[in-house]
Structure formats: structure tokens, C-alpha cells
Structure 1
Amino acid sequence: MKKIISLTANTARKCLNMAYSGCRKAYNWYLRTFKRLPWYGRIGMGLASFIIGLIVLLGMIDINFLGLFGKSPSMFNIKEPIQHIASEIYSSDGKLIGKYYSENRTPVEYKDISPILIKTLVYTEDERFYKHFGIDFEGVFAAAKDFITQGDARGASTITQQLVKNLFKVRSQYSTGLLGHIPGVKLLIMKAKEWVTAVKIEMLYSKEEILTMYFNTVDFGSNAFGIKTACHTYFNTTPDKVTVEQAATLIGLLKATTYYNPRINPKNSLARRNVVLGKLYEQHMLSKEQLDSIRQLPTVLHFKEETETSGNALYFRDAVANSLRDWCKENDIDLYGDGLKIYTTIDSRMQQYAEEAVNKQMREIQKKFDNHWANMAPWRDRQGEELPHFIEDLAARTPAYRYLSQRYANSPDSITYYLNLPHRCKVFDYDLGQRDTLLSTMDSIRYMVSFMHCGFVAIAPHTGEVKAWVGDINFNSWKYDKVLSKRQPGSTFKLFVYTEAMNQGLSPCDLRVDENIPWEVEEDGEKKIWMPHNANGGATLDTFSLKMAFAQSVNTIAANVAHEIGIPNIIRTAHAMGIRTELDTIPSLSLGASDVSLLELVSAYGTVVNDGVAIEPVLVTRIEDKDGKVIYEKEPEETQAIPYESAYLMQQMLRGGLTCPGGTSQALWRFKIFDKGTEFGGKTGTSSNHSDAWFVGVSPNLVGGAWVGGEYRSIHFRTGELGQGSRTALPVFGYFMEKVLADKHLAKEYIARFPSPKEKIERSWDCNTYLPHYSDSDSLNILLGDSLLTGDEDLDLERLEQILEN
């Protein structure tokens, strides 16, 4: 080993000596030759030496010789540049509903860029663009001359060099090596790298391709990257349709995207625009008359800055991004920079109708809620007492409190003072979306937590495709998605109790008594008694069919049936049908005491409508890469969750909520959704303290569900009808379906009747399903229950009787 090391060292020493000797001989030869030449020969040899030396230096910088200069963009990087392109999200009806991006950029082709834009860029930024090879030496020498003679350095970067800065960011993403630590040397190294990379780009790409890449990469300010986004942001137009003055404004602001921004600095922008127009005149692109005329025109903006919250279906888009996170990780895909085209299941029209339905209903709910509590605090415990320190506890979770507690760690009075000090802030407003106001942190919390909230989702049951998704009343104010949040479903959970009953051979017409039957349960090693009770606190001891008990939401019968068939069996069926949340094995589960999400609940109801076949909710159908290649295609996951016969019988049970006397879903009759023959069913639900109000409505081709409640479970209506699912959640579905069925493009798909049995069914279901004619509203009220006639609109009795006759 010692011999090998010694031999290697000797060899290295000899190589260095030879190199040193060779360099010395070359240097001596150079000096002898230089001295023998006449003065003009010496100038020529010196110039040639400088050029050769510069080329050698640039080559050494490019290869990062001895680590002195840092890494430079490779030929591979230049051939395959990493360009952050926004991914676009499309609705099922082909509408662009939003984007995911780190830089808001959508590329265009050269043919889609107006010639006036191209000429304006070249004549303003690099008039010798078509003559140089990446470096404009004439411009460099002119800039050097100005600096020496006038002390004013003008820019000499070519469009190609600017492209290098935009595309590779050599001044920030690439190191400068050991020599970069020497003051003044770093800038020279960076400039040299730009020159070398610019020459490489000119070798690999045509002038048209370079211009296209430049237009697609450059930052135009206002979160607009690339010419397509810039045209849309500032003028609501496209690159092929810009006018001369618009082109001059856009190219002009490239000099300084803030100082010459036409929105925030209109005077500077106008002056700069006119300078650019002068350049076009100098190049004979404009006549003197045209120049004078256009300079008199004001800058007319149609400004709309795109942000992450621009577009539609914001909660849905968030859900899509979350659903794709693992897939992107597994496939090394950047959702925010790879320029994907994501085709979703959402229908833009149905989404709009859903948002309008939520907005319409929640405005009314908020008025009632505010009147209900008047000047009292709505945050209450189960005994109805105001929760002490509720607002203070919420304030302690805010960034403002964390900042103040660090700054005034030993002065709690200062923390209290600043938390109660009014300051400018934005709060939610139904008319403005968000409004600026002057409130303290404490008052803003009191204001914001006093709003009622809503989630709504609609799913096509035969495909699992989500057609509408509203996560709350305002995305900018509340990011927490109420379609995915977990809350107690109340009586909507009875679907699974009765479905399992059908699985075990019971029928809708089987009879049970409305009576309190105690359950003996074991809790923490102790035996306790759980006693189910109805909403009115008692039991009638009347006999009900299961269909009637389900329609009227009789708690005692649901609990007693659950006792018969077993809570574990109910849980197994709920999970098979689409509930993914872990459920508590407790008797009160039968009445909806275990949390679930609105999405999984509506999906599970869809299993009933889909003849017992469960389909996982589908959000995305297809994804294409930036080149249009399909890289993801969703295939629905289907399982026969329950027997067909059970599903058919439960369809009739759900319809009973509207057709059985006293059915809790009969408030749906007041909506104009029955006149074209569509059949509906549904189930309401209300948690025990009115914290959660639910309704899931079903029709043959569409299932939709709504949840209404406070942000916190302690904020709700007091005991009474105002907080019931039929009053708060059901109208959201009603308003939504009114608009869907009134849309001639959608109606043909969603106007439908439930089909007759596909196979012979032995069990009876046609009981308690009748609505005879009544001539006065009192009699009809007795038949249908109070919920029908207590809405905000009068019931059209004549229309209802015509529907029932048919």
C-alpha cells in the first residue's frame, strides 16, 4: 500500500512539473513573439489573446473548474427546462373552474401570440435580437462606454439572457463556487454563466422558440406569469387579440413590474407605455399620426388578479387536491407546477345552483338565529347556561394571542388590553363576502362564531360522481369543510338500522309498539340502563309499521329494532354501504350518536338508490399531463353492499318520508320539484341538543344532503322547531332541486321515477302510503304534520292534490 501511495504521489508530482514547465515555455514563447512584432501586430495579438482567454475562462466557469465557479445549467437542463405551469381543473361540462399553481402560468404557442406583441418586445428590449447569438456585444460595448463617459450603466441583457434569468434563475439557484465569496467577483461569475447559457440556448432553439419561451416564463406582476395570464389579468383578453396600446403597456411594465404596474401606479405605467410606443414609431411600426392618437388614449384596464381562491367550487377543489396527494407522491408529480389538466365530476351549473341554495337558505337561518338569541350569547352548555370563558378560550388559540403572550409574558393586563383594542380586520358579510371593519380581536371572534354554517353535497348514485359540493357559507372566512367534518347524524343514521332490519328479513309493513324499552349496558365496568325516548320525551304505546316509524322518525321503535338486530350488525352494514368513520358500539348509535361526515352519509344513501351497490365517491375522472397524455383514469369501485331486495324496500321506506302521514320530510312538498313527475324520498335528522340538523334527499338519479349547525357544538338553536332538520337543512335540498329540474339541459337527466321491482319481492311495503283529498288546510295539516305548513311560503294545495292524483 505504501508503495502504491508513493508511486501515485511521484506520478502526480511529475505531471505537475511537466505542466508547470510547459506553461512556462509557452509563456516565454509568447513574450519573445510579442516583442518581435510591430505595434499593430502586438495589438492584434493582444486582442486575440484576450478573446482566447475569455473563451477559456467561460469554458472553465461552465465546467466549474476545480469547484471555483459553482454549478451551471447543463445541456440537459436547457433541453428539458423545468417550467412551473399551473394545473387546470375542469368541470364535467367542460368549464375551467380553477387552477393549482406555485406560479400562475399557462403556456401558449408562438402562433397564438400577436405579432404586435412580438415586435413591441423586440424593439423595446432587444432591437438586435435577430442578429446576435445570445450576447449583444455591440450593446455591451455601448453600455461600457456610457458607464465610462457618463457614469450611467444601461442594461445590455438580450432577450435570451433575460430568458436565462427567468428560466434558470442562475443568480439564486446556482452557487458561485469558491471565487464567488470574493467581493465583486460573484456578479462577474453570474454574468458569465448567463452568457454561456444564452449561447447554448441559441444553439438549441430557433428565434421563434426563444421568444415563445420568453413570453411563457416572464413575470408580469400581479401574480401573472406568462403572457396568457397577463393578458387575462390586466385586459381580460388573449395574446392573439391585444391592441397596440395594450401590448405597449404589458411590455413596458417588464422594466419594473411594480413601479410600472398599470393598476397600482397608473401614471408611471402610462408614461412608460408612451415611451414604448415611441420605440415602435422609431422602427416605423407606427406613423406620427398613429403615435399621437394612441398616446392620447387612457389605459383601460379590465383587471382581475387570479389567486388560489379565484374560480368556483373552492371547497371541492381543496378536496380534489387532498385526494390526489398520495397519487402525486407515488408518481413524482407536482400538482402545482406540472401543468396537469384535471377533469372532475362536478357540474358547473349544479355547483352554482347548490351555492345559491345554500346562500338563500342560510341568510334566512341567520336572521332567525340572531332573532332567536337577540342580545344573548348563543354558546351554551347542555343545561342552557352560557359557557364561561368561551370567547377567551378561543382567543387563546389565535396567532394574535401567541404573539402577545410572547411579547408580554409577564404582563397579562397588556395582553388583555391589546386583545380588546380595535384594529382593521376583515369579517364575513353575506352581501359583500368579506368587509373591512374596525374590531378588536375579542369582538371579531364574538362576531364570527355567531354565524350558522352549512355543508351540501350532491352525488349521482349510479356512478358515484360528485355533482355539487359546498363546504360552507364562505371559503375565505372558513376553510374547514363541512362536507368532510364529522358530526352526529341524528335520525339520518336510522337508514342503517332499518336496512339491517330488511337484511334480517323484516319488512316495511311489520308492526312495532312505540314504547320505552330499557337497555342494560356496561360502562367502565359498571352496568347502567340506557332508555331511548322520542323527541317529545315520551312514548305513545301506539302500534306503527316500520315504514311509518321511519317516516315519522320514532326514536323508540328505531332503538328497539336496533336491540333486536344487534348494534354490531348495524355497524357492519353502515360500513358496507359507505360509512368510513369508525362507529361506537353503543345503543345510542341507533339514534345517530356517533359522528359521520356528510359525504359518506350521502354516499351511503346513494347505495340504497343504486339497488344496493356501493360506489366510492368519485371526484376526478381523468388527468392529462401538459402534453395531453392521459396519466390517470378513475374506474369506479363498486361492491354489492346489501341485497337488492333490501335496497328496494329501503327506497320505499325513504319515499314514505313524503307519502306517509306525519312524515318528517313532507316540507319538501312546498318546493316546485314534483310537477314534471320526478319522485323523491328523504330523511331528516337532528342531534339531541339541536347542534346538528340534517336532511338527505333521494331521487332516482340524484342524491343530495345538507347539514346545518354552528361552528362549535355549543352554538345552536334552543330546543324547538327552529333547529330541526326539516326547517334548516331540508330547504337547501329543495331550492337546489328546483333549479336543477328547471334547467332544460339538466332536467332530462334528473326527471325520473323510481323503477318497479327488478325481481320478485315477497315482503310487503305498500302500507301507510296514501294521501286522500282534503278540502282545507287544517285537515291537510293533520294528515301531513306541522312541518308542511310552517315554511316561509304558502302551500299550493291545488298543485299538491294534482300531483297526488297523478
Structure 2
Amino acid sequence: MSMLCSVDTSMIGAGVRRGGVLLKLFGLCVLAGVLVASLMLPAALGAGAAVNQTSSAMARMSKSLQKARMPLTTKVLDRNGDPIAYFYDDYRVPTSADEISDTMKAAITAVEDKRFWDHNGVDWQGTMRALATNLSSGSVEEGASTLTQQYVKNYLVHVVADTGMERHEAKETTIARKLREARLAVELERTMSKKEILTAYLNVVPFGNQTFGIGAAARTYFGTTPDKLTISQSALLAALVNAPGALNPNLNPEAAKERRDLVIDRMTEPGNKIRITEEDAERAKSKPLGVLDPLGRPPSSCISAGGSATNGFFCTYLRNYLNRVGFSDRELERGGYTIHSTMDPEATEAAKEAAEAQVPKRSENIANPMAIVEPGKDSHKVRALVANRDYGNDASKGQTAYNITNRVAGFGAGSVFKIFTAAAAIQQGWSPEDTIPVPSSYTTYEFGHGQEWTMHNAEGVSSGSRSLRKALATSPNTGFVWLLERVGLNNAVDMAKKMGLRDSLSQKVDEEGETSPDGELTRAQFIKQSEQGSFTLGVHKVSVLELSNVMATIASGGTWCPPSPVSSMTDRDGDPVEIEEQPCEQAISPSTAHGLAQGLADDHKAGGTSHAAAEAAGWQRPLMAKTGTTQNYRSAALVGATPQMAAAVMTYADGPPYDGICVNGSAPPYQCGNTVGNLYGGTIPARTFYPAMKKIHEGLPVEQLSSIGKN
């Protein structure tokens, strides 16, 4: 070593003037000597406290390297077991030694560490050869890190390091880092087999394009698995390890091919444990790069997930839901979970088709989202979250990245909120057959702070007393304000929150009742304190998923459950992962749920507000439903459920101008340019709801509403 490292120090000044090359070479010489000394250091120093601490830290890191618990991709599956999304920071596919082709092992050792099978972690012969080559050329042309050392470095950089600063320090060219890598490499060679080290290396090394490890690289670049990699494919992937960015085969194919062919030539050289013939090499070099374009790496985003135009809303809800129950984005992107979601692709497709048929995705500023929830006493499974919009970032293509299917919208659901007044009445002993008065206008002082408040019925709603059941189907404003006076505003608001409006009514609001994170009151508290009798007319903000879950609560015999997008979840080892979500609770009594199911049973029948749409769709099943429209026709909704499935549709302006919405027969809706419109819950929402729900129920037995709250 002394002969190789005897550099004329007078040359150093000139070396600095030539870019510091000779200084770097001198550093390599010093490093080689220090490496040897450092490997003997623990024995020489004995058992001092500092050495004990260093040795202990090394032992812990060595064990970590042996286990190689790398960040892994989280996979989201639909209810049929098909993937709909992936979450990852770095794309990885764990691969065992038996799943990696011999050609890949041959390629990587030939170009990165020809003596891999012979050295003990640090290749002293290779180090001396590299020093000699570099000194004779006057430049740093050859490195000497073994695959074992490279594995240590890559693991520290891409697995252990959490921050950009830590990653920078882990790959900084310093003697201290080289010493640590060398000592860990020697330790690993004592505790792991060569086969284990090579496999671990091939599972952690970066191949560019956010792809790490040979399993992910084979899929990303060639759409195949590592066991099927050919000589030319293996050589290209081994080439990328040298400089993944500069050798990107889609951006710099000439450089990538040159490096690939170099690797192929190296694979023919004597001394390789696995060697190819000259004939094999020539055939491999004649092959095109054959890289996929676009690359086969699955996207790590709900926006670009497979089928994201339809699945993106559900994907985003699921991710946010998991965040709320304790799984951070970092955990999801590194944990390697398998999430079995509740998403029903058939229901999703039916709902998407119906939503877009009524409001084309490019309709300016008109949203038409639909949410479908499966009722149950143990869980409320979210089966579909869709909209007329596609999920994405390009508004010109009718896309939105706002999750309008579960986000609290800027508008209300209109007379749908009469359900909560009816629920409060039934809970207090009213029957769906009890009669309420329905004058053409009604004046109250109770909700006007001592002032008169007079309301009228919507156009087409006749006056005259009728049963609560008939009132729910025909939706008179006057009768329900009269009923609200008797059951109590506070009771109706509490009923709404219990049944499912937990997000919207818990939002903080300012003194004007507008959403504000700095507000002192919740929306529910504000409505009560300001005595807003208009609550029963549905003027307050709500989300379509909340509305669907309200109907699921009724269909579940009064049992509220959080609308869950997850059926089960396992960790990287296949063990179950517990999700601590809110427990289900008996929100309203079974008898109240039964009464509501009977009271809401006529909306789709002759005289009901959604009869025309139900008849046009050929709806035949028992159904509880309610429509609603807000003032000036700015939004409308329909909620409905059978004992098997609950759903809601809400149509509203999702961008300015927020004018009334017009519906011209079966033609697309548009904003009228003033406050006049003709949107009702029985038009676009109902025309979306019935075709979708009919298709979703195909093949299911017909169940009666009389069973609700009775079993």
C-alpha cells in the first residue's frame, strides 16, 4: 500500500489547480490506510465506554440491515380483490432470491463487484487496483465499493434516513462514512450469506423513476417479473444503477444503450461466477432497449390511480379516513399494507354512468355527486362515491380534485331535512298516519325572534290537511314548519346529528353562521341559538355522503355507524391490522326507524315528488325516499334506501355564478343567468338515483320496508 500511495506532495498544488483531482486521489490513499486501521481499532482499544457505544450502535445497525425492513408499497383493493390504488414514497416490490434470474445476478456482479463472491465485504485487491488506475490516469475513473458496502450505503440513505439532511449526510463523501460502511460490510459478511446480501442489495438499490429494487424495476421498465429478465434487460437494469438519472432510457437512450452494452461485455469476462458466451453477448447487444413508454410503475396518487376518473373520489375518502383513524400519510406510503376496501366496482360504474347521463362532466359549474352506502347494524360500508365530474386536476376536461362526494357542499338539500322533523315527531309518539295541517301560507313568531315569519309552499304543492306520510311524499313547507313548532327545533337538530349529519353540524361557524375554523359555535349550536326554523327546509350545508348515511341509519333499524371504506387491513406480513374507528350506536329507536321507513314509503308512487323519474326508470321495489330543493333552485337532492342499499344524489353549482339551475327536458342543465330556475329533487337527482339503484339491485331479493326496525 505504501508504494501505491507514495504521491509526490509537490504535485498536490498542481492537482488543486486542475480541479482537485490529485487531492482526491491523495484522499483515497489516506482512506485506504485508515480503513485497515479502523477495522482493527476495536480490538486495539479494548472495552472503553466510547468503543462500547460505537460497537453497540454498529450491532444494532447490523441487525437492522440483516432484517432489511424496507419501506413497502401499500395496495388498495376493491371488494372483488382487484387493485384500485397504490400508496408509496418509493415504489418497491419485495423479491426473494429464487425470484431473481441468474442473468440479473450475473449482470449486477459483473459491472458493480466482479469479486463479490470472493471478498469478505471490503475488496482490498479491488481498492488497490482502483487506486493504481486512478493515480496513473490522473483522474477518478474507478471506484472500489463492494456490493456489500453499496448495500449498506443504500440502506442508510433510502431506508434509515428520514429527512433530506439525513440522506445527504448518509451519502456524503467522507472518511467517517466510508469507515462506517466498511465496518458494517465486514460485519454483514460474517452474519449473512452471499446469496442473502446480493438479494438484499437488489431489493434496496435505486433504479430511477422513483423505483427501488429489482422487483419494482422489472415491472416499471419491462412490465415483467425479475425471474423472467433476459440478458439485455438485466444488463440495462444493472447499467441504471450507475447513474439512474443520466441513463434514463426514455430520455437518454443512446447513453443507456452504451452502458448496457458495456455491462453485457463485462458479463463475458473470465472470473465471473455466472458467465455468458460471446455469441449470447452479441445477440443481447443487438436487441433494442425495449423499455415501456410510458413506464409501468403504478402511480402513487388517487388522481392518477387506475380508473381514477371514477375511483379517485373513493380513493381520496379512504385515504383521508385512514388519516383520521391514526394512519399518517408516511405510514401508508411506507408500511406495505394491503387494504381491502368496501368499494363495489359494479355499483360505482352504474352510479357514474347515471350521474354523467344527467349532467355531462363538462357542464359548466354543475356538480352531480352520488354516494351509496350499504346499511348494517355492525357497519355502514361505502360502496360507491362518484360524480358527473372525473377525478383529476384538469378543469377543462370536466375534472375536479375536490372530493365533492363527501365534502360538505356550499348548499343545502332542501326539503330532505323534513325527515329530521318527522323523526323527532315519531320519536315523541306521532304516527306516520297522524294528520298535520297544510295551509297555503303559514306565519310563525317562534322562529322569527318576535317578528313574523311567513312561508309558502313550493309551486304545485296544494294546501289541505294530510297524513305525515302523505306530507313527506308531497313536501309542503307550511305543514312541516307547523310540526317543527310542536316537536322543537333543538330536538330536530339533535335528531339530524344523531342520524348522520355529524360532520356538517359539527363544523365551526362565525357569527353569521358561515364556516370558520375560528368560530366559537358549531353549526348545530348556531342553528339552535338563532332559532332558525328554516332548518326543516334544508337551507344548511351538507354532504352527499352524510345524506346517504342518514338513510343507512334508518335502514339499519336506527343504528348509526361511520360510513366506512375499509373492510379489512393487513400489514406487510399478512397479519390483521386493527382500525380504531367510531363504534356503531343506536342513534334512534328501532320503532322510530320503522315509523320513518313507513312514512317515507310513498315518494316514488303516484303523487310523490319523484314518481315521474321512478316510473321512467321502471322502478318496482319498495323504497323509502325524500326529495328536496333549495330556494331559487340553486341545489336539489334525493335520498332513498331499500333494506339492502342506501343512496343520495345532490345537484348544485360547484363554481360561480351561483345562480338557479335550469333543466330543459332531458337536455343538459345549465345556470339560468339569474335567480330563476326549474331544478327540483324530482328531476336531475331522481333521474340519476333510480337508474343507478335499479341496476345495483339487479339479482337481489325484493325486501319489504316493514322489516326495518322489527328484527
Which TM-score band (shorter chain)? Answer: 0.7 to 0.9
Distance 1:740 1:286, change over 3 A: farther
| Superposition pairs of residues 251-266 of structure 1, within 5 angstroms | 251-266=238-253
Residues 594 and 706 in structure 2, CA contact (< 8 A), matched pair in contact too: no
Letter of the structure 2 residue corresponding to residue 734 of structure 1: Y
Whole-Å Cα distance in 1 between the matches of residues 708 and 50 of structure 2? 80
Bigger CA radius of gyration: 1
CA contact (8 A) 1:684 1:694 kept: yes
Matched, 1:624 2:575: no
The CA deviation at 1:486 is 2.1
2:348, 2:579 → 1: CA distance?
Answer: 23
- Equivalent position of 1:75 in the other structure: 59
Task: Tell me the SS of whatever aligns to 1:363.
Answer: coil
Map residues 398-797 of structure 1 onto 2, 5 A cutoff: 450-462=364-376, 463-470=379-386, 473-477=389-393, 478-487=400-409, 488-515=412-439, 516-521=441-446, 527-536=450-459, 540-580=462-502, 581-582=505-506, 583=524, 584-585=527-528, 586-633=532-579, 637-671=583-617, 674=619, 678-712=621-655, 714-716=657-659, 717=661, 718=672, 719=675, 723-741=679-697, 747-748=698-699, 750-757=700-707
Asked if 1 retains the 8 angstrom alpha-carbon contact of 2:613 and 2:690, the reply is no
Aligned to 2:323: 325
Deviation of residue 571 (structure 1)?
1.6
Contact 1:520 1:528 in 2 (8 A): yes
What secondary structure is seen at the aligned counterpart in 2 of 1:154?
A: coil
Question: For the residues of structure 2 that align with 1:721 and 1:174, how far apart are their CA atoms?
Answer: 56
Three-state SS of the structure 1 residue aligned to 2:267 is helix
Pairing 1:297–2:219 present: no
- The question of whether the paired residues in 2 share the 8 Å contact of 1:656 and 1:663 is answered with no
8 Å contact kept, 1:62–1:71: no
| Aligned partner letter, 2:319 | A
Structure 1 residues 490 and 127: alpha-carbon distance in aligned structure 2, compared to 1, 3 A threshold:
same
| Equivalent of residue 140 in structure 1, options 94, 109, 127 | 127
- TM-fit CA distance, 1:496: 1.4
> Aligned to 1:517, what secondary structure does the other structure show?
strand
**Distance apart, 1:686 and its partner CA:** 2.1
**Aligned with 1:269 (options 250, 256, 279):** 256
Contact 1:530–1:587 (CA<8 Å) still a contact in 2? no
1:343 equivalenced with 2:335 (yes/no): no
Aligned partners of 2:77 and 2:338 also within 8 Å: yes
- Rounded to whole Å, the distance in 2 between the matches of 1:607 and 1:362 is 28
1:533 and 1:547 map into 2 onto residues whose CA distance is 20
CA distance, structure 2, for counterparts of residue 333 and residue 661 of structure 1: 54
**1:143 Cα shift?**
0.7
Percent identical among aligned pairs is 27
Q: Write the distance in 1 (CA, Å) between the matches of 2:710 and 2:534.
A: 35
Task: Map Cα deviations across residues 423-467 of structure 1 (whole Å, 9 max, x no partner).
Answer: xxxxxxxxxxxxxxxxxxxxxxxxxxx432243221111231111
Mapped contact 1:621–1:633 kept (Cα < 8 A): no
8 Å Cα contact 1:64/1:70 also seen in 2: no
Structure with bigger RCO (C-alpha 8 Å, 6+ apart):
2
Measure how far apart 1:606 and its partner are.
0.8
* Residue identity matched to 1:112: E
**CA displacement 1:278-336 (0-9 Å, x = unmatched):** 23333574444433333222233332343322234333333333333354379x99232
Alpha-carbon distance change, 341 to 55 in structure 1, aligned in 2, over 3 angstroms? same
Give 1:163 shift: 1.0
Q: What is the identity, as a one-letter code, of the residue corresponding to 1:156? A: A
* 1:220 and 2:212 are equivalent in the alignment: no
1:587 Cα offset (Å): 0.4
Shift of 1:521: 4.2
> Partners of 2:286 and 2:688 in 1: how far apart?
53
Amino acid in structure 2 at the alignment position of 1:229: A
For the residues of structure 1 that align with 2:537 and 2:47, how far apart are their CA atoms?
73
Q: CA deviation at 1:701?
A: 0.8
Residue type at the aligned position of 1:753: E
Structure-2 separation of matches of 1:722 and 1:557:
23
- Deviation for aligned residue 1:146: 0.5
What whole-Å deviation, never above 9, does each CA across 1:334-378 have from its counterpart, x for those lacking one?
2322222222222234334444444444317x54xxxxxxxxxxx
What does residue range 350-369 of structure 1 map to in structure 2 within 5 Å? Answer: 350-363=347-360, 366-367=362-363
Determine helix, strand or coil for the equivalent of 1:689. helix
Q: How many residues align?
A: 610
The aligned runs of 1:241-256 (5 Å cut-off) are: 241-256=228-243
8 Å CA contact 2:148, 2:197 repeated in 1:
yes
Alpha-carbon distance, 1:590 to partner: 0.5
**In structure 2, the residue corresponding to 1:220 is in which secondary structure?**
strand
The CA deviation at 1:539 is 6.7
Say whether the 8 Å CA contact 2:629–2:680 is kept in structure 1.
Answer: yes
Give the counterpart letter for 2:491 in structure 1.
N
8 Å contact 2:417–2:537 — kept in the other structure?
yes
Letter in 2 for 1:129: F
Does the 8 A contact of 2:427 with 2:592 survive in 1?
yes
Cα pair 2:609 2:627 within 8 Å, conserved: no
Provide the rounded CA distance (Å) in 2 between the counterparts of 1:527 and 1:494: 24
**TM-score, normalisation: structure 2:** 0.77
1:521/1:266 Cα in 2 relative to 1: closer, same or farther (>3 Å)?
farther
CA distance in 2, matches of 1:485, 1:614: 19
**Aligned equivalents of 2:607, 2:47: Cα separation in 1:** 86
State whether residues 370 and 386 of structure 2, in contact with CA within 8 Å, keep that contact through their aligned partners in structure 1: yes
The answer for the alignment partner of 2:143 in structure 1 is 155
Gap runs ≥5 in structure 1? 1-47, 368-449, 742-746, 762-806
- Mean Cα deviation higher: 303-312 or 246-255: 303-312
Q: Please give the secondary structure, in 2, of the residue aligned with 1:558.
A: helix
1:252–1:272 CA contact under 8 A, matched in 2: yes
Structure 1 residues 654 and 713 mapped into 2: Cα distance closer, same or farther (>3 Å)?
farther
Does residue 85 (structure 1) correspond to residue 61 (structure 2)? The answer is no
Q: Distance in 1 between matches of 2:426 and 2:466?
A: 16
Q: CA offset at residue 569 of structure 1? A: 1.6
Which residue pairs with 2:39 in the alignment? 55
The AA in structure 1 aligned to 2:627 is T
What pairs up with 1:160-309 in 2 under 5 angstroms? 160-169=148-157, 187-282=174-269, 285-302=275-292, 303-309=295-301
Post-superposition offset of 1:140: 0.9
Name the aligned partner's letter for residue 443 of structure 2.
P
- SS of the equivalent of 2:601 reads helix
Give the Cα separation in 2 of the matches to 1:308 and 1:342. 15
| Cα distance in 2 between the residues matched to 1:651 and 1:171 | 55
